[in-house]
Amino acid sequence: MNVKDAMYARKTIRNFLETPVSNETIADLLNDAARAPSGGNVQPWRIYVINEDAMSRFRGHVSSRTERETPAYAVYPASLKEPYRSSRFKVGEDMYALLGIPRDDKPARFAHLVRNYDCFGAPAAIFCFVDRIMGPPQWSDLGMFLQSFMLLAQEAGLDTCPQEAWASRPDTVADFVHAPEELMLFCGVAIGHANPDAPVNTLVSDREPLATWTTFID
C-alpha cells in the first residue's frame, strides 16, 4: 500500500470487531511512527498502550468513575465560526443519519457519544500524553506522530479511531496508566478491525475544496 492509498483508506472507525491485536504489532507501529517529524528532535509524545486483559480492566475502571472531571483542554473553540462550524455540524448529521438516529432523539445521540469511552469496542488503544511544559509546536509534533501511526496501522491492515473525547476524562485515564502529574493527556486512539456490517463505518467525511484553503501567490 502506498502513502496515497493509505490516506484514502484511513477512516475514523466507530464500531470495531473483537479480533485481537498483538502488543508486538502495536510496538512495531509505534517504533516506526516515531520517525515522524519533530522540531528540534524533542519527540514530545509519551504513549501508554492498553490491550488484552488491561483493556477489560480499563473498561471497568472507566465505568466506575462517575465524577465530573475538568477537561484537559477545550477540543473546539467556544465560538466556532464559519466555515468550520458548518463542517463540524455536517459530519455529525451525516454520522447520525447512518446510525438512524434523528436529531430530536437526544438520548440515542448521547448513548452513541458515550461509546467513545468504550473505545467503540476496540480491543486495544493507545493514549498520547505530552509534558505540560510543551507548547503549540510540540502539539503539532503529536499530530504528525499520530497521523504516521494511523497510516502505518492502515498499511498493516488495522483500523483506528483518534479520540480527543478522552480530553474530558483526563483523570480517569491518567489514574489507570499511572501517568506522572507532569504529563497531560492529549488523546486516545482506538485500534482494531472495523466491523464491516456497521453502517457508521461507511462514513466518509467531506473535505473543503482546495480553493477554499489554499492560495497560490503570483
Q: Which residue has the cell 479520540?
A: 163
Q: Write phi, then psi, for 14 (nearest 5 degrees).
A: -120, 20
pLDDT above 90 covers a percentage of the chain that reads 93
90 vs 85: CA distance, rounded Å = 9
Does residue 61 register a pLDDT over 90?
yes
pLDDT at 188 (0 to 100): 98
Residue 159 in 3-state DSSP?
Answer: strand
Handedness of CA 140, 141, 143, 144 (dihedral sign): positive
pLDDT above 70 covers a percentage of the chain that reads 100
The DSSP symbol for 138 reads H
Q: Which CATH superfamily is domain 3-75+118-202 in?
A: NADH Oxidase (3.40.109.10)
128 vs 167: CA distance, rounded Å = 11
What's the pLDDT band for 16 if we cut at 50, 70, 90? very high
pLDDT at 75 (0 to 100): 95
Q: Which tens digit of pLDDT belongs to each residue from 155-204?
A: 999 999 999 999 999 999 999 999 999 999 999 999 999 999 999 999 99
Residue 199 in 3-state DSSP?
Answer: helix
Quote the longest CA-to-CA distance of the chain: 59
Mean pLDDT of 198-212: 95
With both helix axes pointing from N to C terminus, report the angle between 53-64 and 170-177 in degrees, rounded to the nearest 10: 140
Does residue 37 register a pLDDT over 90?
yes
pLDDT at 1 (0 to 100): 83
pLDDT at 130 (0 to 100): 98
The answer to whether 93 and 147 are in contact (CB under 8 A) is: no
Does residue 139 register a pLDDT over 90?
yes
The mean of the pLDDT values for the chain is 96
22 vs 217: CA distance, rounded Å = 48
pLDDT at 172 (0 to 100): 98
pLDDT at 209 (0 to 100): 94
C-alpha cell belonging to residue 208: 473543503
Does residue 91 register a pLDDT over 90?
yes
Residues 157-185 as b or e (16 or more Cβ within 10 Å = b): ebbbbbbebbbbbbebbbebbebeeebbb
173 vs 169: CA distance, rounded Å = 7
- Residue from 130, 121, 173, 128 nearest 150 by CA: 128
The answer to whether 10 and 158 are in contact (CB under 8 A) is: no
